[in-house]
Amino acid sequence: MPIRLRIILNISIIAMWFTSLTSISLFADEKKKQTNGSQKVLVTVNGHAITQADLDFAYLSRGISGGTRSAKKQVLESLVDQRLIQDFLAQQKITVPPKQLDESVLKVQKLIRKKGDNPEQVLTKMGFTPEKLRTAIALPLSWNIYAKREITPAKIQEYFDQHRAELDGTRVEASHILLKLPPNAKPETIQQAKQKLSDVREQILAEKITFAEAAAQHSEAPSKNDGGKLVTSAYRGKMPLALTQQVFALKEGDVSVPFQSPFGVHIVTLNKKHPGQFSLEDVRGEIFQLLSRALWNKTIQKLRSSAKIEWNANSPE
């Protein structure tokens, strides 16, 4: 069975930005598009048309046959972003060395053969011409060249210093008190829960009650009879990120202010922190990816502020 395109193109920098290669359709030669509705313009970006054919190819790349109006809008928005970035990189005179691009194409073909498939047949079935494939690979590679120019070693060092505990493998022992919320809880219900936990927090800080005692009395989590203990976890570990983000901001013994998560309203306390052992060199690649994604989002925001984006009347604005 032919492997999906997003798996085919799962080579480091491409996978970083495109879980599915929706960008490919932007660059098809307009002369090759069929006239049976595929030339219908859905949105125009600074004079460049994104057509129904582009959207169809984006769906094909994702391995889906269609979607809701909201899903269609999301895909089209991603195509707008990619069109803006393509033009931006051209203005910056960023180009991928032909040898690097050739090597990436060969990697794709090698991955297909490794699965026992014929590269030409698989790519043709997915709607890829050699030109489309090269352009699909070129965009994220071009972005990577630009990002490396902008993200200096000093910026990576600064990020590591500011987020060391999140990156070096530091593990935390923490406890929480949870008040559950009903589905679609009203603002006043949420506020009441926060006020209750705020009062509990004040009692804990005044040493009128311990955190464990408060958990036993008030928490609605399964851990209430165990002092509210959460699983020991690194920043991206077994503990839900919504809780981890709050815990890592604390010092040992601190109690957070009430906050809301998908589980309800909580307060958390940091019991103990176990420093990690990873160095900057161990996580340099991860930091680069985080900063590169942030740079992408910032660039898109800036480009959109001055871009002329015109939606067709039948497009999901």
Q: What is the CATH number of the domain that holds 139?
A: 1.10.4030.10
Mean pLDDT lowest among 36-50, 89-103, 166-180: 36-50
Residue 221: CATH number of its domain: 3.10.50.40
User: Is 270 part of a structural domain of the chain?
Assistant: yes
- CB atoms inside a 10 Å sphere around CB 80: 24
* 229 within domain boundaries: yes
Query: Please, where are the H alpha helices in the chain?
Result: 5-8, 12-17, 52-62, 69-91, 98-114, 119-125, 130-150, 153-162, 164-167, 187-205, 211-218, 241-247, 280-306
Q: Band of the pLDDT at 134, cuts 50, 70, 90?
A: confident
Residues 99 and 55 grouped into a single domain: yes
d(CA 57, CA 40): 14
314 vs 177, more confident: 177
Kindly write down the DSSP assignment for every residue of 103-145, as one continuous string. HHHHHHHHHHHHTT--HHHHHHHTT--HHHHHHHHHHHHHHHH
How many CA atoms lie within 13 Å of 215's alpha carbon, on the beta-carbon side?
22
Domain that holds residue 76: 41-152+297-311
Please report which helix (H) or strand (E) contains residue 271, including its range: strand 264-274
pLDDT greater at residue 2 or residue 117: 117
Residue 317 counted as domain residue = no
The whole-number average pLDDT for the span 111-129 is 79
Strands 264-274 and 171-179, by their bridges, are antiparallel
Same domain, 197 and 124: no
How high is the pLDDT of residue 53?
74
Q: Are residues 69 and 124 in the same domain?
A: yes
pLDDT surpassing 80 at residue 73? yes
**In-domain check, residue 6:** no
Place of tokens 């981890």: 244
Q: Which two tokens stand for residue 136?
A: 């699909």
Q: What is the pLDDT of residue 39?
A: 73
